[in-house]
Structure 1
Amino acid sequence: MRYLRLAPLALSLLVPGGHAMSADRITGREFATRSEVIAPQAMAATSHPLATQIALDVMKQGGTAVDAAIAANAALGLMEPTGNGIGGDLFAIVWDPKTKKLHGYNGSGRSPKSLTLDWFRENGHTEVPSHGPLPVTVPGTVDGWFALHGRFGKLPMRQILAPTIRYARDGHPVHETIAYYWNRSVPLLAKWPGFREQFTIDGRAPRKGEMWKNPYLADTLEKIARGGRDAFYKGDIARVIDAYMRANGGFLGYEDMAAHAGEWVEPVSVDYRGYDVWELPPNGQGIAALQMLNILEGYDFSQIPFGSAEHIHLFVEAKKLAFADRARWYADPAFHPAPVAKLISKEYAAQRRALIDPERAARAVDAGRNLNQGDTIYLTVADKDGMMVSLIQSNYRGMGSGMTPPGLGFILQNRGEQFVLKNGHPNSFEPGKRPFHTIIPAFITKDGQPWVSFGVMGGAMQPQGHVQIVMNLIDFGMNLQEAGDAPRIHHDGSTEPAGQVTEMADGGILNLETGFGWETIRALMRKGHRIQFADGPFGGYQAIMRDHANGVYVGASESRKDGQAAGY
Structure 2
Amino acid sequence: MPAAAGKKIVASQNYVASHVGAKILEEGGNAFDAAIAISAVLSVVVPHTSGLGGDGLLIARTPEGLLSFNSTGWAPKNIGSDRIEKRSPRSIVVPGLVDLWRMIEDYTTMDLRKLLDPAINLAVNGFYVGRALHHAIVSSEKLSPEWQQLYGDKRFGDLIKTRGLAEVLKKIARDPRSFYEGELAEELVKGLREKGSPMELEDFSQFKAEKVNLLKTDYKDYTVYEFPPNTQGITTLEILKMVDMTDINKLPYNDVRRINEHVRISSLAYEDRDQYVADPKYYPVPHFLLEKSFLTQRLMDVGMEAKVKPDGDTTFFVVADEENKIGMIQSVFQSFGSGIMVKDIVFNNRGDNFTEGRNKPEGRKRPLHTLSILYAEGRDEEIIIGCAGADLRPQIHSEVFEYYVDYMMEIDEAVNAPRFMFTGNKVIAESRLGTPSTKLEPFSPQVGIVQALKSKKGMHIGAADPRSEGTAIPV
Mark yes or no: TM-score above 0.5.
yes
Contact between 1:41 and 1:552, CA under 8 Å: does it hold in 2?
Answer: yes
Shift of 1:355: 3.4
Shift of 1:59: 1.6
Match of 1:164 in 2: 119
Shift of 1:279: 0.4
Shift of 1:196: 3.2
State the distance in 1 between where 2:306 and 2:168 align: 48
Assess, with a 3 A threshold, how the Cα gap between structure 1 residues 271 and 81 changes in structure 2: closer, same or farther. same
Match of 1:410 in 2: 345
State the distance in 1 between where 2:317 and 2:220 align: 26
State the distance in 1 between where 2:23 and 2:290 align: 40
Q: Is it true that 1:179 corresponds to 2:139 in the alignment?
A: no
Report Cα offsets for 1:258-311 as digits up to 9, x if no partner.
111121001111111011111000000011110011101123356311111122
Match of 1:399 in 2: 336
Pick aligned residue for 2:142 from 163, 174, 188: 188
Pick aligned residue for 2:322 from 362, 365, 384: 384
Match of 1:155 in 2: 110
Runs of 4 or more off by more than 6 Å in structure 1?
none
Shift of 1:235: 2.3
Shift of 1:250: 1.5
Q: Is it true that 1:223 corresponds to 2:171 in the alignment?
A: yes
Shift of 1:552: 1.5
Match of 1:446 in 2: 378
Structure 1: gaps spanning 5 or more residues: 1-33, 121-126, 357-361, 367-373, 494-507, 522-530
Assess, with a 3 A threshold, how the Cα gap between structure 1 residues 365 and 208 changes in structure 2: closer, same or farther. closer
Q: Which has the higher helix share?
A: 2
Shift of 1:70: 1.3
State the distance in 1 between where 2:388 and 2:306 align: 26
**SS of 1:515 mapped into structure 2:** helix
Q: Is it true that 1:540 corresponds to 2:449 in the alignment?
A: yes
Contact between 1:220 and 1:409, CA under 8 Å: does it hold in 2?
Answer: no
State the distance in 1 between where 2:388 and 2:345 align: 21
Shift of 1:188: 2.8
State the distance in 2 between where 1:415 and 1:482 align: 33
Pick aligned residue for 2:25 from 34, 45, 59: 59
Q: Is it true that 1:346 corresponds to 2:292 in the alignment?
A: yes
Shift of 1:363: 4.8
Contact between 1:102 and 1:267, CA under 8 Å: does it hold in 2?
Answer: no
Match of 1:329 in 2: 276
TM-score (norm. length: structure 1): 0.79
Shift of 1:173: 2.0
Deviates more, 1:322-331 or 1:242-251: 242-251
State the distance in 2 between where 1:301 and 1:477 align: 15
Match of 2:84 in 1: 128
Report Cα offsets for 1:79-134 as digits up to 9, x if no partner.
001100010011111111x22x22111101111112211xx3xxxxxx31111311
1:27-46 to structure 2, matched below 5 A, reads: 36-46=2-12
Q: Is it true that 1:514 corresponds to 2:431 in the alignment?
A: yes
Contact between 2:270 and 2:306, CA under 8 Å: does it hold in 1?
Answer: no
Contact between 1:81 and 1:399, CA under 8 Å: does it hold in 2?
Answer: yes
Report Cα offsets for 1:224-264 as digits up to 9, x if no partner.
001x2221000222111221122222111211111111210
Match of 1:556 in 2: 463
Letter in 1 for 2:439: F
State the distance in 2 between where 1:308 and 1:115 align: 47
Match of 1:524 in 2: none
Q: Is it true that 1:137 corresponds to 2:75 in the alignment?
A: no
Assess, with a 3 A threshold, how the Cα gap between structure 1 residues 364 and 181 changes in structure 2: closer, same or farther. closer
Match of 2:402 in 1: 471
Contact between 1:142 and 1:232, CA under 8 Å: does it hold in 2?
Answer: yes
Assess, with a 3 A threshold, how the Cα gap between structure 1 residues 66 and 450 changes in structure 2: closer, same or farther. farther
Structure 2: gaps spanning 5 or more residues: none
Match of 1:23 in 2: none
Match of 1:9 in 2: none
State the distance in 1 between where 2:84 and 2:301 align: 34
Assess, with a 3 A threshold, how the Cα gap between structure 1 residues 364 and 395 changes in structure 2: closer, same or farther. closer
State the distance in 2 between where 1:379 and 1:532 align: 29
**SS of 1:299 mapped into structure 2:** coil
Letter in 1 for 2:77: K
Shift of 1:169: 1.5
Match of 1:355 in 2: 301
Please say which structure displays the higher CA radius of gyration. Answer: 1
Identity, % of aligned positions: 30
State the distance in 2 between where 1:169 and 1:106 align: 30
**SS of 2:447 mapped into structure 1:** coil
State the distance in 2 between where 1:546 and 1:175 align: 30
**SS of 1:130 mapped into structure 2:** coil
**SS of 2:157 mapped into structure 1:** coil
Contact between 1:510 and 1:532, CA under 8 Å: does it hold in 2?
Answer: yes
1:183-332 to structure 2, matched below 5 A, reads: 183-185=138-140, 187-191=141-145, 194-197=146-149, 199-200=150-151, 203-204=152-153, 206-226=154-174, 228-300=175-247, 303-332=250-279
State the distance in 2 between where 1:379 and 1:445 align: 18
Contact between 2:8 and 2:322, CA under 8 Å: does it hold in 1?
Answer: yes
Query: What is the aligned-residue RMSD (CA, Å)?
Result: 1.8
Contact between 1:458 and 1:538, CA under 8 Å: does it hold in 2?
Answer: yes
State the distance in 1 between where 2:468 and 2:292 align: 36
State the distance in 2 between where 1:146 and 1:245 align: 23
Match of 2:76 in 1: 112
Contact between 1:245 and 1:253, CA under 8 Å: does it hold in 2?
Answer: no
State the distance in 2 between where 1:426 and 1:177 align: 35
Assess, with a 3 A threshold, how the Cα gap between structure 1 residues 312 and 85 changes in structure 2: closer, same or farther. same
